[in-house]
Amino acid sequence: MGWKTKNLVLFVFSLALLGATLFVQVPSHNAEELKKINFGYPLAFISQNHSSYYSFLYFPTWDKFNFRDVKNINGFSPLNLAASLVLIFIALEIAIWFLETLDFWVRRKIFGGEDKTGDNILE
Protein backbone atom coordinates (compact mmCIF):
# COMPACT_ATOMS: atom_id res chain seq x y z
CA MET A 1 0.00 0.00 0.00
CA GLY A 2 1.39 3.38 -0.97
CA TRP A 3 1.96 6.08 1.62
CA LYS A 4 -0.79 8.29 0.12
CA THR A 5 -3.35 5.52 0.36
CA LYS A 6 -2.20 4.62 3.87
CA ASN A 7 -2.46 8.23 5.02
CA LEU A 8 -5.91 8.61 3.45
CA VAL A 9 -7.13 5.48 5.25
CA LEU A 10 -5.60 6.73 8.51
CA PHE A 11 -7.24 10.13 8.06
CA VAL A 12 -10.69 8.61 7.49
CA PHE A 13 -10.18 6.28 10.46
CA SER A 14 -9.07 9.26 12.58
CA LEU A 15 -12.26 11.13 11.63
CA ALA A 16 -14.33 8.10 12.60
CA LEU A 17 -12.55 7.81 15.96
CA LEU A 18 -12.98 11.53 16.59
CA GLY A 19 -16.70 11.26 15.88
CA ALA A 20 -16.92 8.23 18.15
CA THR A 21 -15.51 10.26 21.05
CA LEU A 22 -18.80 12.16 21.18
CA PHE A 23 -20.44 8.94 22.41
CA VAL A 24 -18.15 8.71 25.45
CA GLN A 25 -20.09 9.53 28.60
CA VAL A 26 -18.86 12.46 30.69
CA PRO A 27 -19.49 12.77 34.44
CA SER A 28 -21.13 15.79 36.08
CA HIS A 29 -20.66 16.25 39.81
CA ASN A 30 -22.95 19.24 40.46
CA ALA A 31 -25.70 21.34 38.86
CA GLU A 32 -23.22 23.96 37.65
CA GLU A 33 -21.30 21.39 35.60
CA LEU A 34 -24.53 20.36 33.86
CA LYS A 35 -24.71 23.82 32.24
CA LYS A 36 -21.51 23.23 30.28
CA ILE A 37 -20.51 19.64 29.63
CA ASN A 38 -17.47 19.29 27.35
CA PHE A 39 -17.33 16.51 24.76
CA GLY A 40 -14.59 15.18 22.51
CA TYR A 41 -11.21 13.60 23.14
CA PRO A 42 -8.29 14.15 23.49
CA LEU A 43 -9.24 17.84 23.55
CA ALA A 44 -12.84 18.86 24.23
CA PHE A 45 -14.15 20.60 21.12
CA ILE A 46 -17.88 20.94 21.80
CA SER A 47 -19.92 21.77 24.91
CA GLN A 48 -23.60 21.34 25.60
CA ASN A 49 -26.07 22.43 28.28
CA HIS A 50 -27.72 19.43 29.97
CA SER A 51 -29.31 21.26 32.92
CA SER A 52 -32.82 21.06 31.44
CA TYR A 53 -32.75 17.28 30.92
CA TYR A 54 -33.38 16.28 34.54
CA SER A 55 -36.57 16.71 36.57
CA PHE A 56 -34.62 15.77 39.71
CA LEU A 57 -30.92 15.97 40.31
CA TYR A 58 -28.66 13.26 41.60
CA PHE A 59 -24.92 13.23 41.23
CA PRO A 60 -22.76 12.14 39.65
CA THR A 61 -24.61 11.93 36.35
CA TRP A 62 -23.05 10.46 33.24
CA ASP A 63 -24.09 12.27 30.09
CA LYS A 64 -23.31 11.83 26.42
CA PHE A 65 -23.69 14.27 23.57
CA ASN A 66 -27.32 14.75 22.51
CA PHE A 67 -27.43 14.93 18.72
CA ARG A 68 -31.16 15.70 18.68
CA ASP A 69 -30.82 18.86 20.78
CA VAL A 70 -28.35 21.04 18.90
CA LYS A 71 -29.90 24.26 20.23
CA ASN A 72 -28.31 23.55 23.63
CA ILE A 73 -24.77 23.64 22.25
CA ASN A 74 -22.83 26.21 24.28
CA GLY A 75 -19.64 26.30 22.31
CA PHE A 76 -17.65 24.77 19.50
CA SER A 77 -13.89 25.04 19.07
CA PRO A 78 -12.64 24.32 15.53
CA LEU A 79 -9.06 24.66 16.79
CA ASN A 80 -9.56 21.90 19.38
CA LEU A 81 -11.31 19.78 16.75
CA ALA A 82 -8.37 20.12 14.36
CA ALA A 83 -5.83 19.52 17.14
CA SER A 84 -7.71 16.40 18.29
CA LEU A 85 -7.79 15.10 14.73
CA VAL A 86 -4.05 15.66 14.33
CA LEU A 87 -3.28 14.00 17.69
CA ILE A 88 -5.35 10.93 16.84
CA PHE A 89 -3.73 10.73 13.38
CA ILE A 90 -0.23 10.96 14.87
CA ALA A 91 -1.04 8.32 17.50
CA LEU A 92 -2.26 5.94 14.80
CA GLU A 93 0.78 6.66 12.65
CA ILE A 94 3.12 5.90 15.56
CA ALA A 95 1.23 2.68 16.37
CA ILE A 96 1.48 1.50 12.76
CA TRP A 97 5.17 2.42 12.56
CA PHE A 98 5.80 0.44 15.76
CA LEU A 99 3.93 -2.61 14.42
CA GLU A 100 5.79 -2.45 11.08
CA THR A 101 9.13 -2.19 12.88
CA LEU A 102 8.22 -5.12 15.14
CA ASP A 103 7.19 -7.16 12.08
CA PHE A 104 10.53 -6.51 10.35
CA TRP A 105 12.44 -7.37 13.52
CA VAL A 106 10.55 -10.65 13.96
CA ARG A 107 11.10 -11.58 10.30
CA ARG A 108 14.80 -10.81 10.60
CA LYS A 109 15.08 -13.02 13.72
CA ILE A 110 13.16 -15.91 12.13
CA PHE A 111 14.53 -15.81 8.59
CA GLY A 112 17.90 -14.19 9.22
CA GLY A 113 17.23 -11.31 6.84
CA GLU A 114 15.97 -13.47 3.97
CA ASP A 115 12.67 -15.13 3.30
CA LYS A 116 12.28 -18.72 1.99
CA THR A 117 12.71 -17.65 -1.65
CA GLY A 118 16.10 -16.15 -0.92
CA ASP A 119 14.94 -12.57 -1.47
CA ASN A 120 15.97 -9.96 1.03
CA ILE A 121 12.83 -9.16 3.06
CA LEU A 122 14.16 -5.78 4.09
CA GLU A 123 14.06 -4.38 0.55
User: For 61-111, what is each residue's pLDDT tens digit?
Assistant: 888 888 888 888 889 999 999 999 999 999 999 999 999 889 888 888 887
What span, in angstroms and rounded, lies between the C-alpha atoms of 111 and 73?
57
- Average pLDDT along the chain: 85
Indicate the domain borders of the chain. Answer: 3-93
Rg (CA), the chain: 22
What pLDDT score does 33 carry? 84
Checking if the pLDDT of 113 tops 80, the result is no
| Alpha carbon distance 89, 17 (integer Å) | 10
Q: Residue 17 in contact with residue 95, Cβ under 8 Å? A: no
Query: How much is the pLDDT for 117?
Result: 57
Q: Model pTM?
A: 0.75
